[in-house]
Chain A
Amino acid sequence: MQITFKLYATLQHLLPPEARDNAVVIEVPEDVTLHEVIERFNVKRKDAHLVLINGRYFGAADRDAKGLLVDGDVLAVWPPVAGG
C-alpha cells in the first residue's frame, strides 16, 4: 500500500531528494509499524517526538503495533518543537 510520509523541522534533511513540501509518497507493507517506517528514514526513536497519522497523535506505546496504517494515510513526524 502507499502512504505519504512527512518529516519536518530539524529532521527534514533526512528526506530523500524527491520529497516536495516535506512529503514523499512511499510503498509500505500492510502490517508495517510506525517505527519501521520512521527508521527507514534514519530518524532516531528519541527524535520522533510528534508522530501523527492524519493529524492524530500516536504515542510511543503504539509505535510498534501493526495495522495502524492503511492505504492513503499521511504519517507526519516532528522532533520536539514548540513556539507560540
Chain B
Amino acid sequence: MAWTRQVLRVNLTEGTCIPEPLNMDWANQYLGQRGLATRYLFEEIDPACDALGADNKMIMATGPLTGTMASTGGRYSVITKSPLTGAIACSNSGGFFGAELKNAGWDMIIFEGKSPAPVYLSIENDQARLVSADDLWGKSCWETDEILHARHQDPQMRIAVVGRSAEQGCLYSSVINDMHRAAGRSGVGTVMASKNLKAVTVRGTMGVGNILDPARFMETVAAGKKVLAENAVTGEGLPALGTQVLMNVINEVGAMPTRNMQEVQFEGAHKISGEAMLEPRESDGKPNLTRNGGCFACTIACGRISTIDREHFSVKEKPQYWGNSGGLEYEAAWALGSDTGIDDLDALTYVNFICNEDGMDPISFGATVAAAMELFEVGAINTSHTDGVELKFGNAQALCWAVEQSATGTGFGADLNLGSKRLCEKYGRPELSMTVKGQEFPAYDPRGIQGMGLTYATSNRGACHLRSYTVSSEILGVPEKTDPLESDGKAGLVKAFQDATAAVDSAGLCVFTTFAWTLDDIAPQIDAACDGDWSPERLVEVGERIWQLERDFNLKAGMTGADDTLPDRLLKDAAKSGPAKGKVCELDNMLPEYYQLRGWTADGQLTAETRSKFGLPS
C-alpha cells in the first residue's frame, strides 16, 4: 500500500500510453522514486547508450509518501541517463506536480522512444493521452504553462515543462514544474526535449487512499510535524531566511567558492545574502523577499518569493518581470553571485527568474559563466566571441546578457549551453573547468569543508551537494559537529549521509526534513503507510543498495575509479584566506577508506561479495 501500484508507460515513438502494474519485488528492495526508478532504468536501458538518443528512457517517479499528509510529502524525481555527465541522473523537485501525479493514480511514468513531432502528455486521473505541441515548441516554460492552463481551463492542473534552452540542446536544462520549482540538475530537461516531449499536464482527484494503517499513519505524521515545528532550523530559520541563510556562514568559514573557485571568500557575500534579501531597498522601500513559500504538504516552507527593483537595469524596460516569482536559493545565489564575482542582488534575482522561465539549472549556468569569465580574463576568449561584451568577473550586465543568450541558445549562449567542461575544452583550457564527471560544483569549497571533497568525487551524478550533505555536520553541527578542516574520519561520515539521503529521496520526502528528523522519525511514517516492516535499519540497507546500483550503472556506462576525482585547483592550489588558508582538499586521504567501506576494489569496482550482499542485478 501507499504505492498506487500503477505505472504509466508512454511510448513516444508509437504514441501509446499503457498502464502496467508496479514491480512490487523491486519496490520492496528500492522503496520508490529515486531508488525504484533507478532499478527500472537499470533494467530497461543500456547504460552506455546515447543520453540524447531514442534508446535512453526518462522516468518521472513519486515515492510512497508522495501525495500523503506526511510533511514535505510532495516530491517527485526525474531519472534518466544524463547528457551532461554520461552518468545516472536523478533530479528531485518539490512544488505540487508530484503529489498531483500520485493523486491521479500513478507511481511513475516511464517515457521511452522519441516522438516524431512535438507532443505533450495530458493526464486526467486514469486517462492519459499524447497531444500535439507544435504550437508550444519554441515557447518558454512560463508561456507554455499559461497556454496549457488556459487551454484546459483548469487552474488546479499541474504542469512540468521544458523551456527553449532544452529545445536548443543546453546540456544542463531542467524540468520546471509549478513555474519555479525544478528537477534542476544534470540536464534531465535536455533529455525530455530530445524526445520531443514539451510538457506533462496532470490533474488527479482520486486522493491517496491506500494507506496501510491510516490511524497509525496520522499519529506518526503528527509526531513528525511536531519535531519539525519545534526544531530551530525547520521551525524558524528556514521559513525566515530560507537556504540563503548560509551565504554569510559559508563565507565566514572560508568555504565560499569565488570567481570560478580561485578564492574561498567573497567580499560581496553580505550584499547577496538571506539577510540582505530582508533589507528594504532605497528605491521603493520594499525588500527583495516578499514572502516565504511552501511545497505540497510542507510544514517548513523554505521557498523564497521575490521581486526585483523596477528601476534596476535588468527589468526597467521589462514590466513582465516586475511581479513576484521564485527568488534566490543559496545555490543559485552562490553560482550566479560569488562564483562570478557579482554582488548585485537584483541582477542575480533577474537571472534566476530567467533560469526558471526557460529551464536552466542556475548552478551549472552560473558556474559555466564563471568559467567563461576566467577564459575571458586569461585571453582564451575575447570580445569577438561575446558580441563585444566584456565578460569579466563582477560584470552584472554581462551576466544578464549571458542568461538571455543561453535561454535561447543564441550566439555565445550556444557555447555556454555546453557546460563548463566542454566550454573549457573547446577553448583549450580544460583545467579551468570546475566540475566532477562533467557536472559543475555547488556552493561549498572542499578545501574548507573536507568531507564535501569526497562527497563530490564519489557522487553518482557528478559534483553535487545533495548526495551527502556533510556540511550539516562539518559546519552546521547537525546532528553533531565535526571539524571541517580534518579529512580523517570523513569516509564513514560521507557514506552514512549518502545512504540515508538515498532512502529519504526514495520515500517522497524532502531531504531538508533531516535537519530535524533522523531515520527514526521517518521510518514509522513509511511503516504505517506501506506494506512490510520498515525500520530505520532497513532504510539504511535500502539506501546503500540504491547507492551501489547507481554506481553499477555508472561503471556499465564506462566510468571508472579514475572519474572519482576533483580538479587540480582544489587538490593542488591551497586556499588563500580564512580558516582553510594553506589547505588543499585531502581527497587521497579519504578515497581509499571510502572504497573499503563500500566494499569496492582499490580501483573502485564492485566486488562479487558486494553484489551478492545487496542482491544487485547482473
Contacts and interface: CB of A to CB of B under 8 A. Distances in A.
B252 A81 contact: no
B573 interface: no
A57 interface: yes
9 contacts: A9-B241, A9-B274, A10-B240, A22-B270, A47-B232, A52-B253, A54-B579, A81-B241, A83-B330
Interface in B226-265: 231-233, 236-238, 240-246, 248-249, 252-254
Given A9-B240, A54-B579, A83 B481 contact: no
Interface string B539-562: 000000000000000000000000
A50 interface: yes
Interface of B: 231-233, 236-238, 240-246, 248-249, 252-254, 270, 274-275, 302, 329-331, 465-466, 469, 471-472, 475-478, 481, 483, 511-512, 515, 578-579
A21 B302 CA distance: 23
Contact of A84 (B252, B274, B471, B483): B471
Nearest to A80: B232
Contacts of A22: 248, 270, 275
Contacts of B231: 80
Interface string A8-28: 111010000000011000000
A84 B94 CA distance: 14
Interface in A13-62: 21-22, 47, 49-50, 52, 54-57, 59
Given A9-B240, A79-B237, A84-B512, A55 B253 contact: yes
A23 to B, nearest CB: 9
Contacts of A79: 232, 236-237
B245 to A, nearest CB: 5
B579 A56 contact: yes
A35 B558 CA distance: 55
A52 B249 CA distance: 9
A82 B237 contact: yes
A80 B237 CA distance: 7
B240 A82 contact: no
A49 B245 contact: no
Contacts of B466: 84
A81 B579 contact: no
A84 B243 contact: yes
A72 to B, nearest CB: 15
Interface of A: 6, 8-10, 12, 21-22, 47, 49-50, 52, 54-57, 59, 74, 76, 78-84
Given A8-B248, A49-B477, A80 B330 contact: no
Contact of A57 (B243, B469, B481, B578): B481
B275 A12 contact: yes
Contacts, number: 95
Contacts of A56: 253, 579
A47 to B, nearest CB: 8
A8 B245 contact: yes
Nearest to B271: A21
A59 B237 CA distance: 20
A50 B237 contact: no
Contacts of A81: 233, 237, 241, 245-246, 249, 476
Contact of A10 (B236, B243, B252, B515): B236
Of B231, B248, B512, B578, chain A has the most CB atoms within 10 Å of the CB of B248
Contact of B237 (A6, A10, A52, A57): A10
A22 to B, nearest CB: 6
A50 B251 CA distance: 14
Contact of B476 (A50, A54, A59): A50
Q: Which 3 A-B pairs have the closest CB atoms?
A: A83-B243, A80-B232, A83-B246
Contacts of B252: 6, 52, 55, 74, 76
B87 to A, nearest CB: 21
B275 A83 contact: no
A55 B481 contact: no
A49 B511 CA distance: 21
A75 to B, nearest CB: 11
A45 B556 CA distance: 53
A80 B244 CA distance: 14
B233 A84 contact: no
A69 B277 CA distance: 31
A78 B252 CA distance: 11
Contact of A83 (B242, B253, B254): B242
Nearest to B278: A12
A84 B275 contact: no
A68 to B, nearest CB: 15
Contacts of B238: 82-83
A23 B244 CA distance: 18
Contacts of B511: 84
Contacts of B579: 54-56
Given A80-B232, A84-B330, A59 B254 contact: no
Contacts of B243: 83-84
Given A8-B275, A82-B237, A84-B511, A55 B578 contact: yes
Given A50-B475, A83-B245, 18 more contacts: A8-B275, A9-B237, A9-B245, A12-B275, A47-B232, A49-B232, A54-B579, A55-B253, A55-B579, A57-B475, A80-B237, A81-B249, A81-B476, A82-B233, A82-B238, A82-B476, A83-B238, A83-B244
Contacts of A57: 253, 475, 477, 481, 483
Contacts of A84: 243, 246, 330-331, 465-466, 469, 471, 511-512
Of A6, A55, A57, chain B has the most CB atoms within 10 Å of the CB of A55
Nearest to B245: A81
Nearest to A53: B579
Nearest to B512: A84
B179 to A, nearest CB: 21
Given A8-B275, A49-B477, A56-B579, A78 B330 contact: no
Contacts of A80: 231-233, 237, 476-478
Nearest to A22: B275
Of B252, B302, B472, chain A has the most CB atoms within 10 Å of the CB of B252
A56 B511 CA distance: 27
A82 B478 contact: yes
Contacts of B329: 83
Of A8, A59, A79, A84, chain B has the most CB atoms within 10 Å of the CB of A84
